[in-house]
Amino acid sequence: MKECVIWTANLDAKKKRSEGRKVSLKFAVPNVKIEEIVQACRELGIPFRVEEKRYPKSWWEEGGRVIVPKSESKIRIMEKIAMKIREIRKRK
């Protein structure tokens, strides 16, 4: 099965599209942490694996990536994860 890589930068509202944000600002979340993506994947029932890597465009920043199976479009998967992160943050 195909997989897609989701970097913390892909969901970060503080990043511009040119800096790696892939989802629209409507879905993006500020200061995304890898732990939040992991928790969102768990709650959504998406299998994943985490890699401690740094996003090439911003290699000096903490971050990482999560690899998930590609069951639908990458953008749709990222939007679902971003919405779940918002939900998790509201609960705290």
pLDDT in tens, 10-52: 999 999 999 999 999 999 999 999 999 999 999 999 999 999 8
Grouping H, G, I as helix, E, B as strand and the rest as coil, residue 62 is coil
Q: Per DSSP, what are the bridge partners of residue 50?
A: 66
55-90 pLDDT per residue, tens:
988 888 888 999 999 999 999 999 999 999 999 999
Residue 14's nearest CA partner among 33, 28, 34 is 28
- Count of structural domains, the chain: 1
Which residue segment(s) compose the domain that 63 sits in? 3-91
CB 8, CB 64: distance < 8 Å? yes
Domain of 29: which CATH number?
Answer: 3.30.56.30
Distance CA 49, CA 69 (A): 10
**Could you say which DSSP state residue 29 is in?**
B
Angle, in degrees to the nearest 10, between helices 74-91 and 34-44: 100
> What's the pTM?
0.92
